[in-house]
Structure 1
Protein backbone atom coordinates (compact mmCIF):
# COMPACT_ATOMS: atom_id res chain seq x y z
CA UNK A 1 0.00 0.00 0.00
CA UNK A 2 2.88 2.37 0.79
CA UNK A 3 4.48 1.74 -2.61
CA UNK A 4 1.20 2.47 -4.41
CA UNK A 5 0.81 5.66 -2.39
CA UNK A 6 4.28 6.90 -3.31
CA UNK A 7 3.92 6.05 -6.99
CA UNK A 8 0.56 7.77 -7.42
CA UNK A 9 1.37 10.69 -5.14
CA UNK A 10 4.80 11.24 -6.67
CA UNK A 11 3.41 11.32 -10.20
CA UNK A 12 0.60 13.63 -9.13
CA UNK A 13 3.04 15.95 -7.40
CA UNK A 14 5.16 16.20 -10.54
CA UNK A 15 2.09 16.88 -12.71
CA UNK A 16 0.66 19.52 -10.37
CA UNK A 17 4.04 21.15 -9.80
CA UNK A 18 4.70 21.42 -13.53
CA UNK A 19 1.25 22.75 -14.34
CA UNK A 20 1.27 25.16 -11.42
CA UNK A 21 4.71 26.57 -12.15
CA UNK A 22 3.72 27.09 -15.77
CA UNK A 23 0.63 29.07 -14.73
CA UNK A 24 2.63 31.14 -12.26
CA UNK A 25 5.60 31.85 -14.55
CA UNK A 26 4.00 32.44 -17.94
CA UNK A 27 1.85 35.40 -18.97
CA UNK A 28 -1.84 34.77 -19.52
CA UNK A 29 -1.59 35.31 -23.27
CA UNK A 30 1.14 32.67 -23.57
CA UNK A 31 -1.00 30.22 -21.62
CA UNK A 32 -4.00 30.88 -23.86
CA UNK A 33 -1.96 30.46 -27.03
CA UNK A 34 -0.45 27.20 -25.75
CA UNK A 35 -3.83 25.48 -25.44
CA UNK A 36 -5.19 26.80 -22.16
CA UNK A 37 -8.13 28.62 -23.71
CA UNK A 38 -9.95 28.68 -20.39
CA UNK A 39 -7.62 31.48 -19.26
CA UNK A 40 -9.54 33.83 -21.56
CA UNK A 41 -12.47 33.64 -19.13
CA UNK A 42 -10.37 34.76 -16.15
CA UNK A 43 -8.25 37.74 -15.21
CA UNK A 44 -4.59 37.20 -14.43
CA UNK A 45 -5.17 37.06 -10.65
CA UNK A 46 -7.25 33.88 -10.55
CA UNK A 47 -4.99 32.17 -13.10
CA UNK A 48 -1.91 32.84 -10.96
CA UNK A 49 -3.85 31.82 -7.83
CA UNK A 50 -4.78 28.50 -9.42
CA UNK A 51 -1.13 27.95 -10.34
CA UNK A 52 -0.01 28.82 -6.82
CA UNK A 53 -2.63 26.44 -5.36
CA UNK A 54 -1.31 23.65 -7.59
CA UNK A 55 2.29 24.30 -6.52
CA UNK A 56 1.42 24.38 -2.81
CA UNK A 57 -0.78 21.30 -3.26
CA UNK A 58 2.05 19.40 -4.96
CA UNK A 59 4.36 20.20 -2.07
CA UNK A 60 1.61 19.28 0.38
CA UNK A 61 1.15 15.89 -1.25
CA UNK A 62 4.72 14.79 -0.62
CA UNK A 63 6.40 16.80 2.10
CA UNK A 64 4.32 15.91 5.21
CA UNK A 65 4.68 12.16 4.69
CA UNK A 66 8.29 12.47 3.57
CA UNK A 67 9.44 14.26 6.72
CA UNK A 68 6.83 12.54 8.94
CA UNK A 69 5.56 15.83 10.34
CA UNK A 70 1.75 16.04 10.37
CA UNK A 71 1.34 13.36 7.67
CA UNK A 72 -2.44 13.88 7.78
CA UNK A 73 -1.81 16.97 5.64
CA UNK A 74 -0.88 14.85 2.63
CA UNK A 75 -4.33 13.30 2.07
CA UNK A 76 -5.92 16.64 2.92
CA UNK A 77 -3.84 18.26 0.16
CA UNK A 78 -4.97 15.51 -2.21
CA UNK A 79 -8.62 16.24 -1.39
CA UNK A 80 -8.07 19.96 -1.94
CA UNK A 81 -6.46 19.27 -5.32
CA UNK A 82 -9.36 16.98 -6.25
CA UNK A 83 -11.79 19.81 -5.49
CA UNK A 84 -9.67 22.16 -7.61
CA UNK A 85 -9.79 19.69 -10.51
CA UNK A 86 -13.57 19.28 -10.18
CA UNK A 87 -13.75 23.04 -10.65
CA UNK A 88 -11.54 22.65 -13.72
CA UNK A 89 -13.90 19.98 -15.11
CA UNK A 90 -16.84 22.38 -14.66
CA UNK A 91 -15.00 25.20 -16.46
CA UNK A 92 -14.04 22.90 -19.35
CA UNK A 93 -17.59 21.55 -19.64
CA UNK A 94 -19.01 25.09 -19.76
CA UNK A 95 -16.55 26.00 -22.50
CA UNK A 96 -17.25 22.74 -24.35
CA UNK A 97 -13.56 21.81 -24.14
CA UNK A 98 -12.03 18.39 -23.43
CA UNK A 99 -12.32 17.67 -19.72
CA UNK A 100 -10.77 14.21 -19.41
CA UNK A 101 -7.36 15.36 -18.10
CA UNK A 102 -8.68 17.25 -15.07
CA UNK A 103 -11.18 14.46 -14.42
CA UNK A 104 -8.35 11.89 -14.34
CA UNK A 105 -6.29 14.14 -12.07
CA UNK A 106 -9.28 14.52 -9.75
CA UNK A 107 -9.79 10.75 -9.61
CA UNK A 108 -6.09 10.10 -8.98
CA UNK A 109 -6.10 12.76 -6.27
CA UNK A 110 -8.96 10.95 -4.55
CA UNK A 111 -7.03 7.67 -4.83
CA UNK A 112 -3.99 9.40 -3.34
CA UNK A 113 -6.10 10.69 -0.46
CA UNK A 114 -7.54 7.23 0.26
CA UNK A 115 -4.10 5.66 0.13
CA UNK A 116 -2.71 8.47 2.25
CA UNK A 117 -5.32 7.92 4.95
CA UNK A 118 -4.57 4.19 4.84
CA UNK A 119 -0.81 4.71 5.09
CA UNK A 120 -0.93 7.04 8.06
CA UNK A 121 -3.49 4.98 9.96
Structure 2
Protein backbone atom coordinates (compact mmCIF):
# COMPACT_ATOMS: atom_id res chain seq x y z
CA UNK A 1 0.00 0.00 0.00
CA UNK A 2 1.50 3.34 -0.97
CA UNK A 3 1.70 6.37 1.31
CA UNK A 4 -1.21 8.29 -0.22
CA UNK A 5 -3.68 5.45 0.20
CA UNK A 6 -2.49 4.86 3.77
CA UNK A 7 -2.88 8.56 4.61
CA UNK A 8 -6.39 8.65 3.16
CA UNK A 9 -7.35 5.49 5.04
CA UNK A 10 -6.01 6.96 8.28
CA UNK A 11 -7.93 10.19 7.79
CA UNK A 12 -11.13 8.30 6.96
CA UNK A 13 -10.73 6.14 10.07
CA UNK A 14 -10.07 9.17 12.27
CA UNK A 15 -13.13 11.02 10.97
CA UNK A 16 -15.21 7.87 11.54
CA UNK A 17 -13.96 7.60 15.13
CA UNK A 18 -14.69 11.29 15.67
CA UNK A 19 -18.23 10.83 14.38
CA UNK A 20 -18.83 7.89 16.74
CA UNK A 21 -17.40 9.92 19.64
CA UNK A 22 -19.58 12.89 18.70
CA UNK A 23 -22.69 10.69 18.75
CA UNK A 24 -21.74 9.20 22.14
CA UNK A 25 -20.88 12.53 23.73
CA UNK A 26 -23.90 14.22 22.16
CA UNK A 27 -26.19 11.57 23.63
CA UNK A 28 -24.53 11.85 27.05
CA UNK A 29 -24.71 15.64 26.98
CA UNK A 30 -28.37 15.76 25.97
CA UNK A 31 -29.32 13.13 28.54
CA UNK A 32 -27.65 15.17 31.30
CA UNK A 33 -29.13 18.47 30.15
CA UNK A 34 -32.71 17.21 29.99
CA UNK A 35 -32.77 14.59 32.75
CA UNK A 36 -34.99 15.15 35.77
CA UNK A 37 -33.26 16.75 38.76
CA UNK A 38 -33.86 13.69 40.95
CA UNK A 39 -31.82 11.51 38.62
CA UNK A 40 -28.87 13.90 38.57
CA UNK A 41 -28.63 14.63 42.29
CA UNK A 42 -25.70 13.12 44.15
CA UNK A 43 -26.96 12.91 47.72
CA UNK A 44 -28.33 16.34 48.61
CA UNK A 45 -26.25 18.26 46.12
CA UNK A 46 -27.60 20.33 43.30
CA UNK A 47 -27.62 18.79 39.80
CA UNK A 48 -25.72 21.81 38.44
CA UNK A 49 -22.32 20.03 38.03
CA UNK A 50 -23.94 17.25 36.02
CA UNK A 51 -25.78 19.78 33.85
CA UNK A 52 -22.57 21.75 33.23
CA UNK A 53 -20.80 18.53 32.30
CA UNK A 54 -23.65 17.69 29.92
CA UNK A 55 -23.37 21.09 28.27
CA UNK A 56 -19.61 20.69 27.88
CA UNK A 57 -20.09 17.25 26.33
CA UNK A 58 -22.64 18.59 23.87
CA UNK A 59 -20.42 21.50 22.81
CA UNK A 60 -17.46 19.12 22.48
CA UNK A 61 -19.48 16.75 20.32
CA UNK A 62 -20.39 19.59 17.99
CA UNK A 63 -16.74 20.71 17.87
CA UNK A 64 -15.65 17.20 16.87
CA UNK A 65 -17.77 17.17 13.72
CA UNK A 66 -17.72 20.90 12.89
CA UNK A 67 -14.63 20.64 10.62
CA UNK A 68 -16.23 17.83 8.61
CA UNK A 69 -19.45 19.73 8.06
CA UNK A 70 -17.89 23.05 7.09
CA UNK A 71 -14.43 21.95 5.86
CA UNK A 72 -12.65 24.38 8.15
CA UNK A 73 -11.08 24.58 11.58
CA UNK A 74 -9.24 21.27 11.77
CA UNK A 75 -7.15 22.67 14.61
CA UNK A 76 -10.33 22.65 16.72
CA UNK A 77 -10.54 18.84 16.69
CA UNK A 78 -7.58 17.97 18.97
CA UNK A 79 -8.56 20.77 21.36
CA UNK A 80 -12.16 19.51 21.51
CA UNK A 81 -11.05 15.89 21.95
CA UNK A 82 -8.67 16.90 24.73
CA UNK A 83 -11.37 18.83 26.55
CA UNK A 84 -13.75 15.90 26.17
CA UNK A 85 -11.11 13.56 27.61
CA UNK A 86 -10.73 15.89 30.60
CA UNK A 87 -14.51 16.08 31.05
CA UNK A 88 -14.68 12.30 30.87
CA UNK A 89 -12.08 11.96 33.61
CA UNK A 90 -14.19 14.37 35.69
CA UNK A 91 -17.22 12.21 34.95
CA UNK A 92 -15.34 9.22 36.35
CA UNK A 93 -15.28 10.89 39.75
CA UNK A 94 -19.08 11.22 39.67
CA UNK A 95 -19.47 7.58 38.71
CA UNK A 96 -17.09 6.25 41.38
CA UNK A 97 -18.86 8.26 44.09
CA UNK A 98 -22.18 6.79 43.01
CA UNK A 99 -20.72 3.25 43.12
CA UNK A 100 -21.23 2.72 39.41
CA UNK A 101 -17.89 1.10 38.68
CA UNK A 102 -19.33 -1.04 35.89
CA UNK A 103 -20.25 2.10 33.92
CA UNK A 104 -16.74 3.47 34.41
CA UNK A 105 -15.39 0.96 31.89
CA UNK A 106 -17.32 2.62 29.06
CA UNK A 107 -16.28 6.02 30.35
CA UNK A 108 -12.63 4.97 30.30
CA UNK A 109 -13.04 3.71 26.73
CA UNK A 110 -14.44 7.10 25.64
CA UNK A 111 -11.53 8.87 27.35
CA UNK A 112 -9.00 6.55 25.68
CA UNK A 113 -10.43 7.13 22.19
CA UNK A 114 -10.51 10.89 22.84
CA UNK A 115 -6.85 10.88 23.86
CA UNK A 116 -5.96 8.79 20.81
CA UNK A 117 -7.67 11.35 18.55
CA UNK A 118 -5.77 14.16 20.30
CA UNK A 119 -2.48 12.39 19.67
CA UNK A 120 -3.20 11.51 16.05
CA UNK A 121 -4.76 14.85 15.10
CA UNK A 122 -2.01 16.86 16.78
CA UNK A 123 0.41 15.94 14.03
CA UNK A 124 1.43 12.33 14.55
CA UNK A 125 -0.97 10.96 11.92
CA UNK A 126 0.03 11.20 8.27
CA UNK A 127 -1.75 13.96 6.39
TM-score, structure 1 as length reference: 0.81
Residue 76 of structure 2, aligned match among 73, 77, 101: 73
Instruction: Answer yes or no: is the 8 Å Cα contact 2:42–2:98 preserved in 1.
Output: no
Residue 105 of structure 2, aligned match among 96, 100, 109: 100
Instruction: Answer yes or no: is the 8 Å Cα contact 1:71–1:120 preserved in 2.
Output: no
Q: Which moved more, 1:60-69 or 1:101-110?
A: 60-69
Distance (whole Å) between structure 1 residues aligned to residue 90 and residue 84 of structure 2: 10
Give 1 or 2 for the bigger CA radius of gyration.
2
TM-score, structure 2 as length reference: 0.78
2:5 corresponds to: none
Structure 1 portions without partners, runs of 5+: 33-38
Structure 1 residue 120: Cα displacement:
8.7
Deviation readout 1:16-44 (Å, 9 max, x if unpaired): 00110111112122x35xxxxxx425412
Residue 23 of structure 1, aligned match among 32, 52, 55: 32
Structure 2 portions without partners, runs of 5+: 1-9
Give SS of 2:42's match.
helix
Distance (whole Å) between structure 2 residues aligned to residue 120 and residue 62 of structure 1: 20
In the superposition, relative to structure 1, how do residues 65 and 113 fare at CA in structure 2: closer, same or farther (>3 Å)? farther
Verify: 1:12 aligned to 2:21, yes or no: yes
Deviation readout 1:46-83 (Å, 9 max, x if unpaired): 12111110100000111034323221111100000001
Cα RMSD of the aligned pairs, angstroms, is 2.0
Q: Which moved more, 1:2-11 or 1:89-98?
A: 89-98
In the superposition, relative to structure 1, how do residues 44 and 91 fare at CA in structure 2: closer, same or farther (>3 Å)? closer
